[in-house]
Amino acid sequence: MKRMNRRDFLKRSLGTLAGVALGTGLDLPEAFAQRRPVKQGPIKIGGQAILSGPLGGYGNFMKMGAQLAVEEINTKGGIAGSQTEIEFRDEELKPDVAVKNARYFVDNWGADFLIGCDASSVGLAVGQVMPELNKVLIITHAATEKINEDLVYKKGIKQVFRISVPVYQDGIAAAIIAKDFPVKRWAAISPDYEYGYTTWKMFRETLKKFRPDVEFIAEAWAKFGTVDFGPHIGAVMPKEPEGIFTTEWGGEAITLIKQAKLFGVFDKAKAWMNPMGAAMDVLEGLGAEYPLGLWISCRYWFLYPDTRENRAFVQRFQKRWNRYPHYVSETGYSAVYAIKTAVEKAGTLETSEVIKALEGLSLDTPAGKRVFRREDHQAIYEVPWGQTAEDKKYPFRILRPLKVIPANDYYRQPPFA
């Protein structure tokens, strides 16, 4: 810790007083405190996300969130007195490309922090090189539990944090919701890669604990980039499932819903669950074509929590980008603020100090209070599940009623057996 001289102390006290007088301790211009910047020149954040192809929207939306945060921070004096710069590269959903990006950012561009990673495989690959690059990486989307359970907790890679919910939301929380449904026969139509398998397994295992009477009668796996779910619907429906669980996302979630409607799935099945169904791209894409009463969730939904902070964020986001924030916009935004908070707490850019500052850090974000769990660096926060409902104020479905399960009831806890 730096020793404070009397003048510094006075200034800080004055600053705090002024802050209290203004009714907020936040948003105080840094210049007020006149601390020495932690870095000569700008603090650099290297972001990567999927920016091309059918899922390219995700990268764009994340970029919007992160950029908004950087702009806000810079107009208010930067991070600990230093201006902040952010640059994005396309991860292409390919681990090798992503590792190259990470190396470029740290070795050539001079990044102080890394954020992003959409694909789970990308998050794992970049995570594995972080001890060598020795910068803090905040993952904003990649959801595999292997990141917090294996990389951070078991292998002890301390440089990796994750601000977005892991697959616990998709599989375990879904099952806790589904246990109250009058549904005994479940089927899955899900992605033919790890995310699809893991979430279905978590869903089945959790649900079976609460409801020994349920059966899992059919599954159909759709390869990445499926444009026609006819074969999958055709394979599952003859088994007469009462509930359908799917973790299709993006354009595939939209296509699946559209085709499921035409194949009469919603007339036959009583329940439909999609943990990615409340993502803004799916809500907006389907608009009024989204059937009512489906159970959906995501990793942040713009109307939850109903707090002043969240409403203000949505408003600022709309003003800047002329659209509602996607969940990756919020996680990108909050990742940048997490960096700011940690650096200012640590008073240095030294990686080990920033890690210490982030561990256990409690952060007020648009998505609500987030705490980075010390053991596995996973941000703990709550995201609601809800049913698709109509609301005249929006040209798309909203979630109503909401069902919020306390994070500690469904996040797996260390030591992960």
Partner 1 sequence: MVETLIFQGLIGLSLAMYIWLVAAGLTLVFGVLGVLNFAHGSLYMLGAYLTETCTALLGGNFWLGLLLATIIVAVLGVGLECFFFRPMYRLPLAYQLLMTFAFVLIFDDLVKMVWGPVYRVPPTPKGLEGSLSILGRAFPVYNVFIIGLGPLVALLLWLILEKTSWGKMIRASASSREMASAIGINIKMLFTTVFAFGAWLAALGGGLSIPIRAVSPGMGTFIIIEAFVVVVIGGLGSLKGAFIGAVLIGLLEAYGTLFLPVFEMFFIFFLMAVVLIVQPGGLFGTQVSHEEA
Q: Identify the three-state secondary structure at position 362.
A: strand
- 234 part of the interface to partner 1, by CB under 8 A: yes
Hey, how many other C-beta atoms are within 10 angstroms of the C-beta on 320? 15
Where is 200: in which H helix or E strand?
Answer: helix 194-210
Nearest-angstrom CA–CA distance, 209 and 301: 29
Nearest-angstrom CA–CA distance, 403 and 297: 10
Nearest-angstrom CA–CA distance, 285 and 254: 7
Nearest-angstrom CA–CA distance, 122 and 130: 12
Q: Which is nearer to partner 1, 65 or 368 (CB)?
A: 65
Minimum distance from CB of 140 to partner 1 (Å)? 17
- 293 part of the interface to partner 1, by CB under 8 A: no
- 232 part of the interface to partner 1, by CB under 8 A: yes
- 270 part of the interface to partner 1, by CB under 8 A: no
Q: Where are the alpha helices (DSSP H) in 275-307?
A: 280-286
By CB under 8 A, what part of segment 184-203 binds partner 1?
A: 192
For partner 1, which residue of 85, 91, 281, 382 counts as binding (CB under 8 A)?
281
- 181 part of the interface to partner 1, by CB under 8 A: no
Q: What is the DSSP string of 326-340?
A: PHHHHHHHHHHHHHH
Residue with tokens 């959903």: 93
Pick the piece of the chain touching partner 1 (CB under 8 A) from 20-28, 138-146, 253-261, 302-310: 253-261
- 263 part of the interface to partner 1, by CB under 8 A: yes
- 287 part of the interface to partner 1, by CB under 8 A: yes
By CB under 8 A, what part of segment 104-163 binds partner 1?
A: none
By CB under 8 A, what part of segment 44-83 binds partner 1?
A: 52-57, 60-61
Hey, how many other C-beta atoms are within 10 angstroms of the C-beta on 108? 8
Nearest-angstrom CA–CA distance, 250 and 285: 9
- 220 part of the interface to partner 1, by CB under 8 A: yes
For partner 1, which residue of 107, 228, 390, 391 counts as binding (CB under 8 A)?
228
Binding residues vs partner 1 (CB under 8 A): 52-57, 60-61, 192, 219-221, 223, 225-228, 230-232, 234-235, 237-238, 250-252, 254-255, 258-259, 262-264, 267, 281-282, 284-287, 289
